[in-house]
């Protein structure tokens, strides 16, 4: 029996906001990648996975997603203000810029809008 992907085993669904869903500047794979970042950011408000780890987690959802492709996805998402990246104690933190979703399990509402906090 084939092992389940670590990401798919932990998450039952992906969240894809209408803003990026309707953004024609992004491919389907880039939109899936963004929704994975959102899911990984759900608990702490940011994602701290390395490019290698992101590549590993997305390999069954996005074909040919190597660490270099992850770097390109992150660069494009940052360029169009979908993510913000900070470094703290030699750890990268990737924040989805506009993240509004409801955690079904505990009814917490997350709202991160870094665009308006300049």
Q: How many Cβ atoms from other residues are within 10 Å of residue 78's Cβ?
A: 14
Q: Are strands 83-88 and 91-96 parallel, antiparallel or unpaired?
A: antiparallel
**pLDDT reported for residue 84:** 94
Q: Quick: pLDDT tens for 61-109.
A: 887 789 999 999 999 999 999 999 999 898 999 999 865 544 444 444 4
Beta bridge partners of 88: 91
Taking the C-alpha atoms of residue 18 and residue 72, their distance in angstroms, rounded to an integer, is: 22
Greater pLDDT, 89 or 43: 89
Tokens standing for residue 73: 């996805």
**pLDDT reported for residue 45:** 86
pTM exceeding the 0.95 threshold for the entire prediction: no
107 Rama class: left (phi>0) / alpha (psi -120 to 50) / beta? left
Tell whether the model's pLDDT for residue 117 goes beyond 70.
Answer: no
Q: Which residue in the block uniquely carries the two structure tokens 């810029």?
A: 97
Tell whether the model's pLDDT for residue 115 goes beyond 50.
Answer: no
């Amino acid at each position: 029996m084939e092992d389940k992907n670590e990401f798919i085993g932990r998450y039952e669904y992906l969240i894809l906001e209408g803003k990026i869903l309707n953004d024609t500047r992004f491919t389907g794979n880039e939109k899936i990648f963004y929704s994975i970042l959102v899911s990984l950011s759900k608990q702490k408000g940011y994602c701290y996975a390395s490019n290698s780890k992101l590549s590993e987690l997305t390999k069954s959802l996005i074909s040919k997603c190597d660490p270099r492709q992850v770097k390109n996805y992150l660069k494009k998402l940052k360029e169009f203000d979908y993510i913000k990246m900070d470094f703290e104690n030699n750890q990268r933190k990737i924040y989805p810029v506009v993240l509004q979703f409801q955690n079904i399990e505990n009814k917490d509402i997350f709202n991160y809008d870094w665009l308006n906090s300049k």
